[in-house]
Structure 1
Amino acid sequence: MSGRSRRAAPGPRAARPTVTVCRGCCCGTPKVPGLDHSAQLRELRQALDGTATVRVTNCLDVCERANTVVVQPSAEGRKRGGRPVWLGLVNDSEATTHITAWIKDDGPGLTDPPDILDLYTFSPSRRVRAELHEE
């Protein structure tokens, strides 16, 4: 297992969506070439400022899907059935743009993601999902 940092995760009642960006063992490193990882994180933070909480974690333990982003619904989105959406291979600015546009439109539970995000969506193991909520 990875050496992820342990910080309190937002509870299920978070007022706005939370975007967790993996920046550990493989995500955010030269192992994913041709991407300005700092610019990607900066773009997410700037585009979602005031709309979502963007946080960085050390490793989500799905290295084969680097770069990984998890979008957790707002309290209202969760109330309406929204669940965290795991996106892998987010290695181009176009994917980042689609993610931010979806979240600005309210994200999981409130707005369907653009069809293009189907290419990035995956389901991690139960163990990995549980550990995200333990942070």
Structure 2
Amino acid sequence: MRVCRDCCCGTESKHPGVDHDGLVARLEVGAGAHARVLRSACLLACDESNVVVVTPSPAGRRAGARPVWLRAVLDDVTVDAISAWVGLGGPGVATVPSALEVRVFAPSGLALEWAPV
């Protein structure tokens, strides 16, 4: 799992009042042994920040799953839903939870807007 932490994702300037470090720590604890949480440089999806990319497990990849990109991961409820989904097997093994469906997006590869830090 990749957590974007660069020009705007995870920054107080773009999302004031959000405990960004606390959310990542909660995600790490929630993912447990099911997935590693890696901090990433800009994933070029600045318009969708805070972005988390959930990668399929080996079983999910065998089932043909692709990474699932999630936008606006800004609260404990969303982080807990991601953790629970990963615990069930994640992409290709378990259906995207309804709480996360509205956050799924297809990456364009280009950000339309860059927010300086």
Q: TM-score, normalised by structure 2?
A: 0.89
1:34 positional shift: 2.2
- Describe the superposition over 1:6-62 as per-residue Cα deviations: whole angstroms up to 9, x where unpaired: xxxxxxxxxxxxx10000100010111221000001001111121101100011111
**Larger RCO: 1 or 2 (CA < 8 Å, sep 6+):** 2
Secondary structure of 2:92's match? Answer: coil
TM-score by length of 1: 0.77
- Segments of 5+ residues of structure 2 without an aligned counterpart are 111-117
SS of structure 2 residue aligned to 1:116: helix
Equivalent in the alignment of 2:62: 79
The CA distance in 2 between the partners of 1:114 and 1:38, in whole Å, is 24
Count of residues in Structure 1 that have an aligned counterpart in Structure 2: 109
Detail structure 1 runs of 4+ shifted over 6 Å in the superposition: none
RMSD over aligned CA atoms reads: 1.0
In structure 1, what is the Cα distance between the partners aligned to 2:106 and 2:44?
13
Deviation track 1:71-106 (CA, whole Å, cap 9, x = no partner) reads 010111011121100001111111101000000000
**Counterpart in the other structure of 1:4:** none
Q: Work out the CA distance in 1 between the residues paired with 2:91 and 2:76.
A: 21
Residue 107 of structure 1, CA deviation: 0.3
Q: Is residue 29 from structure 1 mapped to residue 21 from structure 2 by the alignment?
A: no
Secondary structure of 1:59's counterpart equals: coil
Show the counterpart of 1:94: 77
Kindly report which structure 2 residues correspond to 1:111-130, keeping only aligned pairs within 5 A, or say none.
111-125=94-108, 127=109
> Where does structure 1 lack aligned partners over 5 or more consecutive residues?
1-18, 129-135
